[in-house]
Amino acid sequence: MRRVPVHKLKAGMKLARPVFIKGGRILLNAGCTLKESYINRLSEFGITHVYVEDERIADVRVEEIVNEETRLRAAEIVRKAVANTRFGMRLNVEEVKNIVSELMDQILSHKETVAYLSEIRIIGEPLFHHSVNVAVYSIFTGLLRGYDERKLRELGTGALLHDIGKSKLPAHLLGAQGPLSGPQLEEMKNHTVYGFELLRKEPDFGLLVAHIAFQHHENFDGSGYPRGLKGEEIHEYARITAVGNTYDRLVGGLEGEKVPPHQAVEYIVAQSGRIFDPLIVKLFSTNIAVYPVGSMVRLTTGETGVVIHVPKNYPTRPKVRILYDKEGNPYHKNFPEVDLLQELTVFIEEVLEE
C-alpha cells in the first residue's frame, strides 16, 4: 500500500485501508474503487491522506500504534468532555478511564515499533483529535521511560485532557485565525489554570493528572507559563506531554502550515534543553516515524521509492524500495531496495507527495 494525499487521488485507484470519520464510523471500506464523487467526499470530510493499493508494494503493511477507529471514538469522548465542562457539567470519568485503557492496550501491543499515527483531522474538530494524538504520543513515551501501568494511566489521562481548560475560553478566541494579539494570548494562557481547576476537583483522577493540564506549557529553562517553572520543578508527566503537544501541533498544522514529521522532530531536537527536557527529547526523537511506511521519498542518489520499513531506534534510516531510477525511469519488476542503516552515505533528500 502507498500513502497518497487526497488531492493527488485519481478515479480508479483502490483503497488499501478503510476510511473512518467522526465517532469511528466507516466512510469507505478497504477495497473500494474510488470515483470522483468519493474523492470529493473525502475532501468534504477533511481527510488529507489515504492508503491505496499498489502492486509494486503489495506486501507492505502499515502498522499504527493505535488504530484510526479507536482514535476517532476517543476524540468523540474528548468532545463530550469539553462540552460538559463548558456547561458546568461533570466529566464522564468512566468513559475517559475506559478509552485511556484501550489506548494503553493498543500501544503496549506495538511497543517494539516506532510511533506512527496516520493523519485524522475532522473539519471543525482539531482540538479533539489533537488531544487524542498527544495522549498516544505521551503514553508511548512513558512506556519508553519504563513507566508501570499506574503511571501510564495517569499520564494518558492527563495528556488526553491537557487542553480541557480551553472549554472555559470564549468561543471567538478558540476560532481566531492567525497570530493572537497580546491580550488574546494572555487570555489563552489561562487555559492551563482553568484545566487544573477542573481536573483537581475530580477525585478519581488525582492531582498529578491535573498538573499535566497546569504545567504542559512550562519550559525546561523556566521561560514558560503559568508559573515559570524550570527543569525538574516541572513534573515529568508534563515534560512528556509538552513534547507530544508541540509535535502534533506542528504536523497537524495547528501552528499555521503543516510541518513534515522530520522537520517537526528537528525543531524539537533544536529546542532540547531550552523548551524541552533533553532526556524526553532523546526518547521521543529516536522512536517516532519521521518517514512513515508508505511514504514516497527521493534519495540523494536521485532514485525515488517508497519507505517499506522503519527500524526501531533509527527512524531516520528506513528501508526504501526503489520504484524509479535516478533518470526517472520506472522499474517494472525486481525492485531494488536500499537499507539506509547499511548504506551510510545515502540519505533521504526529499519527501514526495506522490
Which pLDDT tens digit goes with each residue over 167-202?
A: 999 887 876 666 778 888 899 999 999 999 999 999
Predicted local distance difference test score (pLDDT) of residue 2? 82
Average pLDDT in the chain:
91
Using CA atoms, how far residue 23 sits from 89, 117, 120, 177, 237, in Å, is: 21, 17, 12, 26, 28
Residue 122 has pLDDT above 60, yes or no: no
Superfamily assignment of 2-53 in CATH?
Answer: Molybdopterin biosynthesis moea protein, domain 2 (3.90.105.10)
DSSP collapsed to 3 states, 165-227: HHHHCCHHHHCCCCCCCHHHHHHHHCHHHHHHHHHHCCCCCCHHHHHHHHHCCCCCCCCCCCC
Residue 159 has pLDDT above 90, yes or no: yes
Is the per-residue pLDDT at 123 higher than 60? no
Q: Cell numbers for 5, please give them.
A: 494525499
The secondary structure of 272-308 as a DSSP string is: BTTTB-HHHHHHHHTSB-SS-TT-EEEETTS-EEEEE
Domain 68-285: CATH superfamily, name plus number: Hypothetical protein af1432 (1.10.3210.10)
Which pLDDT belongs to residue 1? Answer: 80
pLDDT band, residue 17 (cuts 50/70/90): confident
Q: What share of the chain is helix, strand, coil (3-state, %, to 5)?
A: 45, 15, 40
Residue 66 confidence (pLDDT) above 60 = yes
161: Cα separation from own chain's centroid? 15
Share of the chain above pLDDT 90, in %: 66
Least confident of 141-145, 251-255, 308-312: 251-255
Question: Binning pLDDT at 50, 70 and 90, where does residue 49 land?
Answer: confident
Distance of CA 277 to the CA centre of its chain: 19
What pLDDT sits at residue 118?
58
Structural contact between residues 24 and 34, judged by C-beta atoms closer than 8 angstroms: no
Q: What pLDDT is recorded for position 150? A: 97
- Identify the weakest region by mean pLDDT among 63-72, 170-179, 253-262: 170-179
Looking at residue 55, the DSSP 8-state letter turns out to be G
Domain range annotation of the chain: 2-53, 68-285, 296-352
Model confidence at 23, in pLDDT bands (50, 70, 90)? low
Quote the pTM value. 0.89
